[in-house]
Chain A
Amino acid sequence: MSDAIRRQFHAQLVEVKSEIVHLGALAMETIPRATAALLNGDLKAAQSLIDDDDIIDVKSIAIEDACMRLFALQQPMAGDLRSLMTAIKLNWDIERSADLSVNIGKAVRRIYGVELPPSVRGVVEQMSAEAYRLTRLAIDAYMDLDLSIAAALDDMDDRLDSLQADLMRTIFDAHETHGLGLQPAVQLALIGRYYERIGDHAVNIGERTQYLVTGWLPEHTGAARADARARHAADAQADGATWS
C-alpha cells in the first residue's frame, strides 16, 4: 500500500518537473518574441506578448499549488524535499524571466516611432540571443541534472554583462552621432538591464539545480563566512571581557 503511494508521489514529482520544463519553454519563447517586437517596432506583437503573459501566470500559479499540495500531503524528505523546493524556486525565476520580456514589450510601446541606430540593434540582438542561450542551457541543466553546465552558467553570464556594458557605450555613441533622444536612450538602457536580469535568473536556475543534486548552494559559502565572522567577533568580545 505505502509502496503504491510512493510510486504515485514520484509520478507526481516527475509531472511537476515536466510542468516546469513547459513553463520554461513558454518563458524562453518570450525572449526572441520581445526582441522581434522591439527591432521591428511591432506594437501588435508587443501587445500579444504582454497579453500572453497571463497564460504563463496561470501556469505558474498551478505549479505552485501543485507543489504546495504535495508538501502538505506527502511531507517529503531529503531528495524529494529538495526537488519540490527547487521546483518552487525555479517556478519563480522562470515566471520572473517572462515578466522581464513583458517589460521589453512595454518599452516597445514607449519608444515607438524612434528609429534605432544599427549599432544599438546589433547589440540588442546579441543580448537577446545570449539571454535565450543561457535560459535554454539552464533548463537543459535542470532536466539532465547536469552539474557542470549548472555551475558554468555563472561564468557564461559574464558575456551578457559585458554586452550590457557595450550597449551603454553604443547608446552614448548613438546619442552623440545619431542624436538619439533622452527618452529612448533611457528606455534602451532599461531594456539592456532586462536582458541582463534574464541571464541572472538563468544563473539562479543553475544554482538551484546544483542545490537539487548536492544540497549545496553558492550562497552557503557566504553564509559560512558570515557565521565565522560572527563567531570571531563573539570570541574577541569574550577575550576583551577577560582582559578588562
Chain B
Amino acid sequence: MELILIAIVALAAVLAFACVLARTRVKNRLISLAAALGEEPPGSASVSDLLSLVERSAERVRRHDSEVERQQQRFALALSAMTQGAVLCDEFGSTVMHNAFARTFTEARHGNAIVRAAIDDMLGRACNGEHDQREIELFGPPPRLLFVTAQPLLDGDEHLGALATVDDITDQQRIESIRRDFVANISHELRTPIGAVALLAETLVDEVDPLVVRRLSIRLRDESFRVSHMIDDLLALSQIEGDGVTESERIRVAHLVGEAVDRIRPAAEQAGVSIKVADFSEGLALRGDRRQLVSALFNLLENAVKYSDAGSIIEIRAAGDDDEVSMVVQDHGIGIPAKDLDRIFERFYRVDQARSRETGGTGLGLSIVRHVARNHGGSITVSSREGEGSTFMLMLPTGLEAPARAEVK
C-alpha cells in the first residue's frame, strides 16, 4: 500500500517537473519567436503575454506583407503603363519581370525574334556589368526602328540584376526625316531656278547676237515663270493650310469634275493623254469651298497627266450617297514605288528628283490635295504599283443637312 503511495507521489512529482520543463521550453520558444518577429519581450512576461505579443506581431507582419505585395503590384502596373518596353532580370540573367510592351518580344517570331535575341544578349552582358545600347532596324513590312538599351543594376559593388528597355522610334525617325528633307528640298527648289535666272542674266549682259539674246530671254522668262509658279503654289498651300474652308457652298460634283477636266484638257492634249469621265449620278453634290475642291481635283489630274505616257487613258470617277462622296483619279502611268507611298503627300517630296523636275512640278500639288481633303473633313488615299499606274481616291463628307438633301433629290 505504502509502496503504491510512494509510486503515485513520485509519478506526480515527475509529471509536475515535466510540466514545468515543457512550459519553460514553450516559453523559450515563444521568446525566440517573438525575437525573430522583431519584438523584445520583457523577461517577466508570462506565456499568455508572450502569445498575444506574437499574435500582434504576426498581424503586423501580415499587414506589411500585403502592403509589400500591393507595392509590387503598383510597380508592375507602372511598368506596364510605360510606352517603353522594360525587361528586368536577376543577377543570373533569368527574367524577373517584363511589362506589356516587352512581352511582345518573348516567345516572339519574325522581326520580334530578332529583338528578343538582342535583349537576351544585352541582358546577359549587363549582368556582367556592361552598359550597352543598340538600334535595331527591321525591314518589315512594316519597317520599324527600335532602340534597345541594357544596364546593370548595382547596389554598391553587388550585382542585383539588369534592366533592358525597348523604344519604338519609328515615328520619331520618320518625323525627323520629313523635317530634314523639307528644309533640304525647299532650299533646292528655290535655288535651282533662281541660280539659273542669275546665270542667264549674267550671260545676257555681254551678249550682242540677237538670236542668242532671244534664246536666253526665252529661257529667262521660263525660269522666272517657274519660280513664280512655285511661289503661287506655296501661297495657295499656306492659304489652304491657314484658313480652312472659308466659303462653303453647295456644289454639284459634276460641275467640279467638269471644271477640273476643262482646266487640264490643254495639257492632256499636248501630252497625248486622253481623259475619260465615267458616268455618275447627276444629283451627287456636297458642301465645300469650290476653289479648293477644283484645285485638288486639278492637281490630281495634273499629276496623272505628267506621269502617263502618250496614248494612255486617265479615268475620273465619282460615287457617293447622302453622307459621303468619293472621287477617283486613275492613271496607267509609271506608278509610285511602295517605299514612297507614305511620303508623297509631304511638301516638296519627290519620288524621283530628276524626272519630276523635268515635268515642271513644284512638289506641292499633293500636299495641297491633302490639305483640301483635311479642311473638308475628308481624306485622300492612294494605291499604286510601279509600271501599272496609280489610283488616288478623294473621300469627302457631303456636309449636307437633311433639307438640303431633299432639295438635291
Residues of A bordering B, CB below 8 Å: 18, 21-22, 24-26, 28-29, 31-33, 36, 39-40, 117-123, 125-126, 129, 132, 136, 139-140, 143, 170
Q: Cβ of B337: which chain A residues have Cβ within 8 Å of it?
A: 39, 121, 125
Among B91-120, those with CB < 8 Å from A are 107, 109-114, 116-117
- Whether A139 touches B387, Cβ cut-off 8 Å, given contacts A32-B141, A118-B334, A132-B141, is no
B104 to chain A, nearest CB (A): 14
Asked if B335 CB lies within 8 Å of chain A CBs, one says yes
Q: A136 to B387, Cβ gap below 8 A? A: no
Q: Which listed residue (B107, B114, B339) contacts A26, Cβ 8 A?
A: B114
- Whether A32 touches B113, Cβ cut-off 8 Å, given contacts A120-B387, A122-B388, A123-B387, is no
Q: A25 to B386, Cβ gap below 8 A? A: no
Q: Cβ of B117: which chain A residues have Cβ within 8 Å of it?
A: 22
Nearest-CB residue, chain B, relative to A177: B309
Interface flags, B133-144, vs A, CB<8A=1, else 0:
000001111010
* Most chain A beta-carbon contacts within 10 A, residue among B113, B114, B140, B143: B113
Q: B109 to A122, Cβ gap below 8 A? A: no
CA distance A26 to B136 in the complex (A): 12
Asked if B385 CB lies within 8 Å of chain A CBs, one says yes
Q: B139 to A29, Cβ gap below 8 A? A: yes
Q: Cβ of B387: which chain A residues have Cβ within 8 Å of it?
A: 117-123, 170
Asked if B338 CB lies within 8 Å of chain A CBs, one says yes
Q: Cβ of A22: which chain B residues have Cβ within 8 Å of it?
A: 113-114, 116-117
Nearest-CB residue, chain A, relative to B307: A118
Residues of B bordering A, CB below 8 Å: 107, 109-114, 116-117, 138-141, 143, 334-335, 337-339, 385-388
Nearest-CB residue, chain B, relative to A132: B141
- Whether A136 touches B110, Cβ cut-off 8 Å, given contacts A39-B337, A118-B334, A121-B337, is yes
Q: Cβ of A132: which chain B residues have Cβ within 8 Å of it?
A: 141
Nearest-CB residue, chain B, relative to A139: B109
Q: Which listed residue (A28, A33, A125) contacts B110, Cβ 8 A?
A: A28
Q: B386 to A122, Cβ gap below 8 A? A: yes
CA distance A40 to B337 in the complex (A): 10
Please classify the interface of chain B as helix (H, G, I), strand (E, B), loop, or mixed, using the class held by over half of its residues: loop
CA distance A31 to B138 in the complex (A): 11
Q: B339 to A36, Cβ gap below 8 A? A: yes
Q: Which listed residue (A40, A125, A140) contacts B109, Cβ 8 A?
A: A140
Q: A21 to B385, Cβ gap below 8 A? A: no
- Whether A25 touches B109, Cβ cut-off 8 Å, given contacts A32-B141, A125-B338, is yes
Closest 4 CB pairs of A and B: A119-B387, A122-B387, A122-B386, A32-B139
Q: Cβ of B334: which chain A residues have Cβ within 8 Å of it?
A: 118
* Most chain B beta-carbon contacts within 10 A, residue among A25, A117, A121, A170: A25
* Most chain A beta-carbon contacts within 10 A, residue among B109, B116, B335, B337: B109
A–B complex contacts, Cβ < 8 Å, 26 sampled:
A18-B113, A21-B109, A22-B113, A22-B116, A22-B117, A24-B113, A25-B109, A25-B110, A25-B113, A28-B110, A29-B114, A29-B139, A36-B139, A36-B339, A39-B337, A39-B339, A117-B387, A118-B334, A119-B386, A122-B385, A123-B387, A125-B337, A125-B338, A136-B110, A140-B109, A143-B109
Q: Cβ of A29: which chain B residues have Cβ within 8 Å of it?
A: 111, 114, 138-139
* Most chain B beta-carbon contacts within 10 A, residue among A32, A39, A129: A32
Nearest-CB residue, chain A, relative to B143: A32
Q: Cβ of B138: which chain A residues have Cβ within 8 Å of it?
A: 29
CA distance A1 to B116 in the complex (A): 32
CA distance A28 to B114 in the complex (A): 11
CA distance A170 to B388 in the complex (A): 12
CA distance A82 to B386 in the complex (A): 44
Q: Cβ of B141: which chain A residues have Cβ within 8 Å of it?
A: 32, 129, 132
Nearest-CB residue, chain A, relative to B138: A29
- Whether A125 touches B385, Cβ cut-off 8 Å, given contacts A21-B109, A22-B117, A25-B113, is yes
CA distance A24 to B113 in the complex (A): 9
A50 to chain B, nearest CB (A): 15
B142 to chain A, nearest CB (A): 10
Additional pairs, 5, CB under 8 Å, beyond known A22-B113, A28-B110, A118-B386: A29-B138, A40-B339, A118-B335, A122-B386, A122-B387
Q: Cβ of A119: which chain B residues have Cβ within 8 Å of it?
A: 386-388
- Whether A121 touches B386, Cβ cut-off 8 Å, given contacts A29-B138, A36-B339, A140-B109, is yes
Q: Cβ of B388: which chain A residues have Cβ within 8 Å of it?
A: 119, 122
CA distance A126 to B335 in the complex (A): 13
CA distance A123 to B335 in the complex (A): 12
Q: Which listed residue (A32, A40, A170) contacts B140, Cβ 8 A?
A: A32
CA distance A33 to B339 in the complex (A): 12
Q: Cβ of A39: which chain B residues have Cβ within 8 Å of it?
A: 337, 339
CA distance A33 to B386 in the complex (A): 18
CA distance A139 to B112 in the complex (A): 13
Q: Cβ of A31: which chain B residues have Cβ within 8 Å of it?
A: 139
CA distance A28 to B116 in the complex (A): 16
Q: A33 to B113, Cβ gap below 8 A? A: no
A63 to chain B, nearest CB (A): 13
Q: Cβ of A18: which chain B residues have Cβ within 8 Å of it?
A: 107, 113
CA distance A34 to B109 in the complex (A): 21
CA distance A55 to B170 in the complex (A): 24
A129 to chain B, nearest CB (A): 8
CA distance A28 to B275 in the complex (A): 43
CA distance A140 to B335 in the complex (A): 32
Nearest-CB residue, chain B, relative to A39: B337
A62 to chain B, nearest CB (A): 12
A145 to chain B, nearest CB (A): 13
CA distance A36 to B339 in the complex (A): 8
